[in-house]
Amino acid sequence: MVEQGHGESGSRPAAIVTGASRGIGRAIALELASLGYDLVINHFDSSADGEPDNSNALKTQKEIKDLGTECEVMRGDVSSAEDRNRLIALAKSKFGRCDMLINNAGVAPSKRADLLEATPESFDRVMGINLKGPYFLTRQVANWMIKQKKQFPQRALRIVNTGSISAYTSSPSRGEYCISKAGVAMMTKLYADRLAEYNIGVFEIRPGIIATDMTSAVKDKYDKLIAEGLTLIKRWGQPEDAAKAVGAIVEGRLDFCTGQVIDVDGGFHLRRL
């Protein structure tokens, strides 16, 4: 359990987690709740007919509350400046603080397309959600964190970005996704550099092949590749594997490691002969 309050009577630390209705984001949100964090979780789920769908987010909210902390839910698109503003306003009004930002929201291309046939529309959508959104959400939260740090110097403030092995692994059928995650990797370095003077740590977790909705369509392909040794640890990664890495950051075990990438990929990143 993290130290709560840091001198503020009865006040728990609070976190914003984007893309938290399911998959890795949900697992991270539950990990934070288990460590004593109140939460604002963001999602952008839609039903088959395109209507807003809060069902997964509400299930996650209940699971968080069952762990003994508070949780607010907001449906919004992180690529939208208006929605980013609403997200921060909700955190400020409900909890008055943000000790942790998890930039987890991300999408794959709606349709995989050969690099030579990719469309500007798909590029703009993926980059807007995966890179532009978190880049500017981090700017806003970082400025808020700086103000908090000046008022409460002992408060532990951290930012974690969910990257991907696609930051350095070529997939020509989803080039926009690879480029967006390469951008997230550099974004982590930039913010770690800029915020170090305020003792605000910035980290990247870099998942590999994780069993989520995003990878369900290619399950058979990766079952075969994993069995053949694509990863050193011959199993699919689980969302909880990524959440445990975030938990280590939350507990303060990596506070001298700002800018660090934590590979959560079963050893995929190792080159071997």
Q: Which residues are catalytic?
A: 177
Q: Are 137 and 42 in contact (CB under 8 A)?
A: no
Pair of tokens at residue 201: 């740590």
Burial (0-12, 13-18, 19+ Cβ within 10 Å), 215: middle
259 φψ region: left (φ > 0), alpha (ψ -120 to 50), beta (else):
left
Distance CA 148, CA 128 (A): 28
Dihedral angle computed from the Cα positions of residues 253, 151, 160 and 187, in that order, rounded to the nearest 10 degrees: -120
